Every structure is written in structure tokens, then in C-alpha cells.
Amino acid sequence: MGKDYYDDMQERSSWRSGRDGSENNRPSKGLIWTIALGIAICVVVIVIWYQFFPAQNQGPENQSTVIEEVLPEVKEIADAPQIRSDVNPEGGISPSDAPVVDTGSARAIDDSSPLRRTPTTSGASIQYAEHLVKEGEDLASIADLYSLKPQTLISVNKIRNIQAVKEGVVLTIPDRDGQLYTVREGDMLSTIARRYSPTLGWKTLQELNNLKNERIFVGQELFIPDTSSSSLAQLTDVSPIQFQKPSSGTISRLFGQSFENPTTGTSEILAGILIEGDWGEAVVASAKGEVVDAGYEQKGRGRFVILSHEGGYRSSYYHLENVSSDVRIGASLEKGQVIGSIGTSGTDYEQPTLFFSIEQSGIALDPLQFF
């Protein structure tokens, strides 16, 4: 009994010790969390790998399949302009149903004569078109076709020889009457506007020429509306003769500017230039020519001389103080030969002033285009 008790006590003791040992040998919570965290990281890495690198799990066979699906689309777009089929398999509009440009009709319209139109007088910027001169057309008929003055076309196209306007020449056509002006030293939009028209205004001039601001520079070309003519654009031919400035004085009024006609006292458009000089300063023939008219008007031209030149040109010299004895109707004068001296005859001018003009076939030209 004692042994049994002893053994029994031993077994219970070992049972207790085992029970206590199991308590002490149980894994710690930190170790469990570390293992769980490691597993979670592995799962995340695997998920990321499959998410961002799926192509590496595909074989070459799959890659070639993708390429084969894309290439037909690119080829179809590149070849689209050559499609001629009348049937669209996708049910869209076939090429035969699409609008067709009749190039023959387009050429016919381009080759036809432009429509007569009324020139605009709005403040919008000036617009230009081109006109190919056809057989039988001349400057006057072309100007009439566009309801413009011949002087406008002379100015915009810098024409010095009207006879050069013939078949095959391309002319620039503005959408209204006016002239081109080349900006000179000291010019401002306001002074240019006042010089040509007291009612024009610099703002209108700015808008008309599509300028971003009022700044202009020497040599710039500006379109001046509603005047008779002046300079620039596309020159069709040069003059068959060369003119020179008839006096060494200062040019005080430009071709196409507004001025007071000494004969009528009314404001008109200047068909030549005014040159101011000193008493007794010589006036010479601008080019070789024949005296076709000369005389005296008490109010208007004063003492004047008119020369005829080759090519249908004429040059006029008004307000002379005196005329050389060699100058008489029918006489031939050489270029630079003295005609007389600058004066104020026929005017109320205080400063000696010469009116000088050049015309061809009865149409006034800008003298500044010749010298």
C-alpha cells in the first residue's frame, strides 16, 4: 500500500511537472506574429509579381498572337487612301458614297473671270486677291472688272509701265480703292492719317493694316484707303526710260495726298508731287522729251511746261517763276536741261513750290517710283 501510494504520488508529481513544463515550452506571441508577417509578405510579393510581370508568364506563342492582332489595324489605316471597294463590310459609308471633288470644275472656276463686286469701305483689314491677265485685257478693263480705279492697281502693283500689263502677268487686287505708302523716317500713324485724309484717323489705319499696335518702322508698307493712288507691291515691268528728280528741293506733298487746288481752292487728291525750294533754284527736264505744251495761267498752273516722252509718258512742271528761252512748243530737251526756275506763279504760296507729275496714256503715276 505504501508503494502504491508512493508510486501514485510519483505519477501525480510527474503529471504536474509535465503540465507545468507544457506551460513554459509554449511558443511566444512575438514568434507567432513574426511568422504570420513573413507569410503575409510572401503573399504580397507573389501578388505583385503576377500583377506587374504577367508577360513573363506567357510564352512566345502568346506574344506573336498579340502582334498579329495589332498589325492588321496599322496596315488598314496606312492603306485607307487606296481603298476602292464600293462595299463597306462594317456597314459604314463606302468610298463611292463619299463627297467627290470635281477637279475639272475647280479649274474651270479658277480660269473664269472674277465676278464684279462692290468695293468694301468697312474698317476691316485689307484683303488681297490675284488676277491673271488674259488676252485682250488691259489695266482699265481689269480695274473696271473689280470696280476699282486704275490708280489703285498702279499703286498696289508698283506699275511704272502701263503697257507692260499684258497677258500672263499676275496682278494683286485689293478689296477697295486706295494706295500703298512706304513709312519714312519720323512717320507716325496719326501723322500719316492726317496727311492723306483729315477724317481717316490712326486707329482706322491700324485696323485696316492689321497692326497689333501703333508702332511702325521705316520701310514698312501701309495701305491708305480711299485715295487715288501711290506706291508698291508687284511690279510687272520697268519703265522704258529713266526719270530724275526735276529739282533739288524738298518734297512737301506726296502723290495721292489731299491738297488744296490753287485753281479752285477745293481739297483734291494730288496727282503728282510738290517740291519746295529756294528762289531761283533751277528746274530741269526729268527725262529726254519734246515740249508739247507751255503757257501761263494766272490762277492755277501759273507758268507751266509739259514734255512728251517715249513710251506714252508725259511730265508736267507747274508754278515756274520763269521759263528758259530754249523752251518752246516742238523743241526737244535733253534729260537734265534747264526748263526754268522754281516759283509760286498761279498760286498764293509763300514758298517757291514746283508741281511735278508723270502720267502714261492719260493715267497719273507716282513720280517717286521713278527716282
3-state helix, strand, coil in the chain (%, to 5): 35, 25, 45
The bridge status of strand 353-360 relative to strand 363-365 is antiparallel
Asked if residue 317 belongs to a domain, the reply is: yes
CA angle 33, 36, 41 (to 5 degrees): 125
Task: Give 20 or 108, the one with higher predicted confidence.
Answer: 20
Expressed as residue numbers, the domain containing 354 is 240-371
Within this chain, do residues 227 and 245 fall inside the same structural domain, yes or no? no
Distance from C-alpha of 79 to C-alpha of 75, rounded to nearest angstrom? 6
304 three-class SS: strand
Calculate mean pLDDT across residues 85-105: 37
- Across 236-273, b (16+ Cβ under 10 Å) vs e yields beebebebebbbebebebbbbbbbeebeeeeeebbbbb
**Res 119 pLDDT > 50:** no
Q: How many domains does the chain have?
A: 2
- Which pLDDT tens digit goes with each residue over 216-254? 999 999 998 864 433 333 334 556 788 999 999 999 988
Q: What is the pTM of this model?
A: 0.46
- Identify which has the larger pLDDT, 119 or 140: 140
The predicted structure's pLDDT at residue 198: 65
Q: Which of 13-27, 145-159, 229-243 has the highest mean pLDDT?
A: 145-159
Q: What is the mean pLDDT of residues 283-290?
A: 95
Per-residue pLDDT at 62: 44
- Do 229 and 155 meet the contact criterion of CB atoms below 8 Å apart? yes
Instruction: Answer whether residue 78 shows pLDDT above 70.
Output: no
**Residues 271 and 234 grouped into a single domain:** no
What pLDDT was estimated at residue 71?
Answer: 40
Assess whether 251 and 367 both reside in one domain. Answer: yes
Q: Are residues 173 and 257 in the same domain?
A: no
CATH number at residue 153: 3.10.350.10
Cα–Cα separations (whole angstroms), residue 301 to 319, 342, 355, 357: 6, 12, 8, 12
- Say if residue 246 is in the same domain as residue 224: no
Backbone phi, then psi, for 79, in 5-degree steps?
A: -90, 0
In the chain, the N- to C-terminal Cα span, in Å, equals 154
Residue with the bigger pLDDT between 126 and 66: it is 126
Residue 3 lies in a domain: no
Are residues 231 and 262 part of one domain? Answer: no
For residue 143, being part of any structural domain is answered with: yes
Last residue of a domain, one of 190, 220, 238: 238
Tens digit of each residue's pLDDT (9 = 90 or more) over 192-209:
887 877 677 788 888 889
Question: Does 29 map to a domain?
Answer: no
Q: What is the mean pLDDT of residues 305-313?
A: 91
Write out the DSSP string of 184-240. -TT--HHHHHHHH-TTT-HHHHHHHTT-SSS---TT-EEEEESSS--B-B------S
Q: Last residue of a domain, which of 213, 238, 263?
A: 238
Helix (H) or strand (E) holding 5: helix 2-25
pLDDT at 245: 94
Does some domain include residue 124? yes
Range with the poorest average pLDDT among 70-74, 333-337, 356-360: 70-74
Q: Is the pLDDT of residue 24 over 60?
A: no
- DSSP one-letter code for 162: G
Distance CA(371)–CA(200), nearest Å, equals: 29
Least confident piece of the model among 171-180, 255-264, 292-301, 320-329: 255-264
**226 against 305, higher pLDDT:** 305
Domain boundary pick from 223, 238, 253: 238
Residues 165 and 256 in one domain: no
Decide if pLDDT at 324 tops 50. Answer: yes
Both 244 and 225 in one domain: the answer is no
Per-residue pLDDT averaged across 134-139, rounded? 90
Residue 57 has pLDDT above 60, yes or no: no
Q: Is residue 274 part of a domain?
A: yes
> Do 186 and 288 belong together in one domain?
no
Alpha carbon distance 105, 102 (integer Å): 5
Same-domain pairing of 224 and 264 = no
Q: With 50 as the cut, is the pLDDT of residue 63 above it?
A: no
Residue that wins the pLDDT comparison between 117 and 328: 328
CATH number of the domain at 301, please. 2.70.70.10
Type of residue found at 282 = A
> Phi and psi for 233 in degrees, rounded to 5?
145, -105
Residue 330 near residue 290 (C-beta atoms within 8 A): yes
Greater confidence (114 vs 26) lies with 26
Q: Answer whether residue 108 shows pLDDT above 90.
A: no
pLDDT of residue 319: 95
pLDDT of residue 237: 53
E runs forming strands in 22-136: 128-132
**Residue 1 confidence (pLDDT):** 47
For the ranges 48-57, 96-105, 147-156, 162-171, which has the lowest average pLDDT?
96-105
Tell me if 128 is assigned to some domain. Answer: yes
C-alpha grid cell for residue 67?
A: 502582334
* 22, part of any domain: no
The confidence score (pLDDT) of residue 332 equals 94
Coil, helix or strand for 294? strand
